[in-house]
Structure 1
Amino acid sequence: MMQQIYPTVSHPYRYELNKDFHFAAAHYIPHEKAGKCSQVHGHTYFVNVTIVGDQLDETGFLINFQDIKKLIHKRFDHTLLNDHTDQFSDKDHERFPTTEIVAQTIWEIIQKHLDTLPNRPKCVQVFLRETPTSYVIYRPKDGDFRE
């Protein structure tokens, strides 16, 4: 993976963890205005997630790096994203597997897991590169976190 500098998120937390990983997946955008993207095609998605918190767990981690990758890579690698009907929809435009929605979905999956941890870390940014020249950043708003 190439060295990448990502946009940073300002936050008041003591610790910030960033994890890079990638996965290969196909998708299509089920709308006539999507042009060529309405046809099945694939990408190697490059992901960076930023997790923050003030408390470490009993192992001295905010969260184990490998746990982050497992949550996403194991689920989506070498799949057709549209087949993940628990996350994406061919009917609801707010759940089409666009890069924006895939980034939001990655955040939702990771944050749902973080919410189960006693030290309560937060995912504050998902950077998702779809092609060498195109990427999306998803940043949740304060109200998106459970307290």
Structure 2
Amino acid sequence: MIQQIYPSVAHPYRYELNKDLQFAAAHYVPADAAGKCSRMHGHTYFVNVTIAGDELNAEGFLVNFAEIKQLIHDRFDHSVLNEHEAYFQDDDPDRYPTTEIVARTIAEIVQDGLDRSDNKPRCVQVFLRETPTSYVVYRPQAGRTR
């Protein structure tokens, strides 16, 4: 994992958990304006997910780190992102697998998993590095799903 200092997000919660992970995936951006990125290519994505909350679960966790890895790494590693049609669509620019939309999608997937827990933590930030020189930070707005 790349040693990285991530931008911090202000939040009102007592606990904050950060999980770093990586996954290798291919994608293409189905738009002429994407230039070379409109052709299939791959990345090793580096992700930092920030989760915050006030209450721990029955096991004393805000969330188990393994659950975050399962939600993201196990779903996307060694896959073609465009083929995950539940998340990405070639005919909807709001669902192209750009770095921004992949970061937002990761936040949505993580939050969906967190919503099933009794202590209801929140995904407050996703940092997604696509290349050594390019990354996106996505912060869900409180009370909004997108």
Give the TM-score of the pair, scaled to structure 1.
0.97
* C-alpha deviation, 1:144, in angstroms: 1.9
Q: What SS class does the counterpart of residue 108 from structure 1 fall into?
A: helix
**Distance of 1:126 and 1:33 partners within structure 2:** 25
**Distance of 2:102 and 2:92 partners within structure 1:** 14
Deviating 4+ runs (over 6 angstroms): none
* C-alpha deviation, 1:16, in angstroms: 0.2
Amino acid at match of 2:93: H
- The answer to whether structure 1 residue 9 and structure 2 residue 9 are counterparts is yes
Q: Unpaired runs of 5+ in structure 1?
A: none
Identical-residue share of aligned pairs (%): 68
Q: What SS class does the counterpart of residue 143 from structure 2 fall into?
A: helix
* C-alpha deviation, 1:70, in angstroms: 0.7
Q: Unpaired runs of 5+ in structure 2?
A: none
**Distance of 2:28 and 2:52 partners within structure 1:** 33
Give the corresponding residue for 1:86. 86
Aligned length: 145
Root-mean-square deviation over aligned CA pairs: 0.7
Give the corresponding residue for 1:34. 34
> Which whole-Å deviations, capped at 9, do the CAs of 1:1-32 have from their partners, x for residues lacking one?
12210000011110000000000000000011
Give the corresponding residue for 1:97. 97
Give the corresponding residue for 1:52. 52
* C-alpha deviation, 1:141, in angstroms: 0.6
* C-alpha deviation, 1:128, in angstroms: 0.1
Give the TM-score of the pair, scaled to structure 2.
0.98
